Each structure stands twice: as structure tokens, then as C-alpha cells.
Amino acid sequence: MLITIPDILNAGELDEVRDLLAKTAWSDGRKTAGPEAAKVKRNEQADLSSRTGATLHTKLNDAIRKNAVFQAAAQPARLSRLLVSRSGVGQGYGTHVDNALMGTGANRLRTDLSFTLFLSEPDEYEGGELTIDWAGMVHSMKLEAGSLLLYPSTSLHRVEPVSSGQRTVCVGWVQSQVRTSEQRDILFDLANLKVSMRSSLPEAAPEHLALSKVIANLRRLWSEV
């Protein structure tokens, strides 16, 4: 599933993030790419190890984690460290697949889902679309600042070259409790059904319990903890 999640950051949070970004140091993005991806990666990455960078990381991480739609769609077991990248004119990221395994020690994870949280408004740059080949279709996406795109890490994807302005995003990866995209989709549909049933059926209706049982039992079958 490809899903867009609006309002991960509200306007106030976005302003705070942008203020912090203005005080952050940047370096060549190829340092954090695998050897194959490094050949096609052309961007800069924010130094999130500084005090300002750590504050920025916490703010972004908290906003993503607390989002209910993100939780329901991704069912995260683990979340990677986040990266904040910017691409100026002529920069982008050629077609690649993300590394299957990332991080070391306690931060080690299998990448089931990738996400991009847009930090620039679409009218601040031209080009720079995130293009994803998924299920035989090509999706080219540019979201509003504060919105997140969640997509399977199994896909080939790229960032089109920026032709004017500057594109800033936060990216990260999820190891899901539910490994396959098909199973996550079913659980996400059922979670949405449960929410919509609340407006049409009384709380005590047996259908609520029946659906809760189905969801719980599918999670028993499909979850890794």
C-alpha cells in the first residue's frame, strides 16, 4: 500500500522544525547510502548529532510515532533513525531500492516500509517528485509540507532532479510487526472498518466484538514481536 498521511506536523510544529533546520549543519548525503545507491544519490543531509540536530530528531520522531494513521498503517515494531535531506537545483536521487537491513546493535532493523515526510511546500521547488514503481504502476508524488508518504521498501523509487528551489524532506524506515504488505493492508482495512462502525452501530452491538475478535486473531497469526 502507498498511503499519504496529512498533518503529521501542524503549522506551528512545521515552523519550529524549519527554525531548527536553519541552524543545522549539512553534509554530503552519499555517506549514509549503500554502495550501489551512493552512485545515484545527490543530496545533502542534516547533522542530527549536534544538540540542535538532536532536538530536531526528537520533534520529528515524536510527531511521526504519535500519529494514529501511521501506527495503524505501518504497525511499527521498530523505527529507524531519521534522516533529513535537502536537494537543490540539479540534485535528486536516481532509481534505487533501499537497503534490506539497516542500523547496528539495538538500532538494527529490517526495512518493510519507507516513508518521506515533506518539509517544503510543493511551490517552493520544481521537479523533486518522489517516484515509486509499485504493483506495475508508477506513482509520482509531491505532498504538502507536514504530510507523509508511506510506501513499501520493496519498491524501486527515485527522487526526480530538482530544477528550481530547494526540496527538504525527512525520511525513515519501519520494521513492521506484520511483515507482508498484503497482511498489513487487510489489518488496516479492518481497523478503518472498526472506526466507521462506531458511527453506525451502538457500542454494545455484537458486531463490534466479532470484529475485535477477527482483528485480534489475525494479529496473533501474522505478528512478529
Q: Which residues bind Ni ion (CB under 5 A)?
A: 98
Nearest approach in angstroms of CB 136 to Ni ion is 19
CB 103 within 8 A of CB 166: no
Query: Which CB atom, from 72 or from 174, has the smaller least distance to Ni ion?
Result: 174
Nearest to 86 by CA among 210, 171, 14: 171
User: Per the structure block, which three cell numbers stand in for 44?
Assistant: 545533502
> Beta-carbon neighbour count of residue 44 at 10 Å?
18
Query: Which CB atom, from 80 or from 183, has the smaller least distance to Ni ion?
Result: 80
Query: Which CB atom, from 61 or from 131, has the smaller least distance to Ni ion?
Result: 131
Nearest approach in angstroms of CB 52 to Ni ion is 25
* Terminal Cα-to-Cα distance of the chain (whole angstroms): 22
Nearest approach in angstroms of CB 58 to Ni ion is 23
CB 169 within 8 A of CB 85: yes
For residues 73 and 166, what is the distance between their CA atoms, to the nearest angstrom? Answer: 29
For residues 132 and 140, what is the distance between their CA atoms, to the nearest angstrom? Answer: 6
Query: Which CB atom, from 15 or from 36, has the smaller least distance to Ni ion?
Result: 36
For residues 84 and 57, what is the distance between their CA atoms, to the nearest angstrom? Answer: 9
Nearest approach in angstroms of CB 87 to Ni ion is 13
Nearest approach in angstroms of CB 43 to Ni ion is 11
Which residues, at least 6 apart from 65, have a Cβ–Cβ distance to it below 8 Å? Answer: 71, 76, 79
Query: Which CB atom, from 52 or from 103, has the smaller least distance to Ni ion?
Result: 103
